[in-house]
Amino acid sequence: MEHDLGTGEERALVSWPGLNYDPVYSPDGTELAFASNITGEYAIYRQRIADGQAWRVTFGRGRALSRLPPLP
């Protein structure tokens, strides 16, 4: 969820089921990175804000980091 501190408005940034956490905006504000367990294992995803298109960016064994690195 994104919460506007000025207006109090909220909007869902990621609308799929699963635990989605630690969202981070890209420096230019066009993408969001976050961790999710949508596939049953934790992984990091990126999502374009404009159209909601998301893709997985980490693969392999183990849990995704609880703190995401900044987007390039």
- Kindly tell me the sign of the dihedral angle through the C-alpha atoms of 49, 69, 9, 39: positive
Which CA distances in Å does 15 have to 19, 26, 36, 60, 62? 11, 19, 11, 24, 24
Per-residue pLDDT averaged across 10-38, rounded? Answer: 89
Query: What's the pLDDT tens digit per position in 22-32?
Result: 889 999 999 99
Q: Output b/e per residue, 29-66; b: 16+ Cβ within 10 A.
A: eebbbbbbebeeebbbbbbeeeeeebeeeeeeeeebee
pLDDT, the chain, mean: 84
Q: pLDDT-based confidence at 70, cuts 50/70/90? A: low
